[in-house]
Amino acid sequence: MIIFLYGQDTYRAQAKLKELINHYQKSHKTGLNLRFLDGKKISFQGLKEEILTQAMFKEKKLIILKDVFSNQAFKKDFLKEAKEILNFKDTVLFHEEREVNIKDPLFVFLKKQAKFQEFNPLFGKNLENWVKKEIKEHGAKAEKGAIEKLIKFLGNDLWRLSSEIKKLAVYKQQSKPIQILKEDVELLVKPNIETGIFKAIDFLASKKKKEAILLFHKHLEKGDSPLYLLTMINFQFRNILTIKEMVESGLPYFHILKQSSLRPFVVDKAYYQSEKFTLNELKKIYRKLFQIDIDVKTGKIKPEIAIDLLVAKI
């Protein structure tokens, strides 16, 4: 049997992998036939030998292959004998953390022949329901305002959401029942600057300069470094410009994702925001950012003023 787990939401994909491993270990107490193989380095012959080697205690094996799609030699050899693998009693699990080309022959085969599950980023009601479930698993409840504030601060970064929810539950464990309030989130959770920068740039793209400035000043009031904010603004506009140039050259999304070497979440936001600017506008903005960076570093202008000046010039 073949199982295929993939998608941009690495938190839920990892959780599903852990669930499958735990289920396997409950049925196979020795744990001696659980194998983890590096998909980037493994040869198909190596996988085949692993499958054909007699399992200890006549147990079924669970063989986990991580990130195999970049291994061209493996894919080529695997597809030649792939149907033979389907007949083996052992389970081979493909776990891919990066987005894959849906036209890749291995992807096409796995979608057709394997038991697969895709993990896309959560948004809206689905994200809210996930947060509620995560809070419940920590034996806590949360008022609606607390859930909304968590999502506003952290977006759909499930890794940070999980960590912060655990911290909040521990903080409120003396109260019975454990009830997380909006004020608790504001006190203990530091907003994800990256999320704030994305939103501010959305405002700038929509010509809402006042809203963008207010958002930047909220970060400053919370104690975030103005230099770091400028660095993040610079970083994101550089990403948007890079993505825009790739789009203009005709590259499809999955090639952009691979060539940019950025996290899928960052690529998604930059790809979306690049549609709101022309290439010429982005080049002008980036030149202004470059000059402001020089002025800040040479002491000609204070970082706080530089942020307002930048927004005014965009």
pLDDT tens track for 220-250:
877 777 887 888 888 888 889 999 999 999 8
Checking if the pLDDT of 312 tops 70, the result is yes
- Full residue range of the structural domain in which residue 275 is found: 197-313
Q: Give residue 7's identity as a one-letter amino acid code.
A: G
Surface-to-core class of residue 226, CB atoms within 10 Å of its CB (0-12 exposed, 13-18 middle, 19+ buried):
middle
Checking if the pLDDT of 57 tops 80, the result is no
What is the average per-residue pLDDT within 204-217? 84
The domain boundary residue, chosen from 188, 207, 228: 188
% of the chain with per-residue pLDDT over 90: 35
Characterize 73-112 residue by residue with b for buried, 16 or more Cβ atoms within 10 angstroms of its Cβ, and e for exposed: ebbebbeeebeebeebebbbbbbbbbbbbeeeebbebbee
Is 140 or 70 the better-scoring residue by pLDDT?
140
Q: How confident is the model at residue 55 (pLDDT cuts 50, 70, 90)?
A: low
% of the chain with per-residue pLDDT over 70: 97
- Regarding whether 77 and 33 lie in a shared domain, the answer is yes
What is the average per-residue pLDDT within 186-204? 78
| Residue 39 Cα to chain centre, angstroms | 20
pLDDT at 167: 93
pLDDT at 141: 93
For 309, other C-beta atoms within 10 Å of its C-beta total 15
Is 110 or 206 the better-scoring residue by pLDDT?
110
The domain boundary residue, chosen from 118, 140, 168: 118
pLDDT at 64: 93
Domain count, the chain: 3
pTM recorded for the entire structure:
0.62
Number of residues that make up the chain: 314
CATH number at residue 254: 1.20.272.10
pLDDT at 12: 93
pLDDT at 87: 75
pLDDT at 280: 92
pLDDT at 56: 64
> Over the chain, what is the mean pLDDT?
86
pLDDT at 271: 84
- Regarding whether 302 and 242 lie in a shared domain, the answer is yes
The C-alpha atoms of residue 193 and residue 200 are separated, in whole angstroms, by 10
- Regarding whether 16 and 96 lie in a shared domain, the answer is yes
Closest CA to 101 of 6, 165, 14, 196: 6
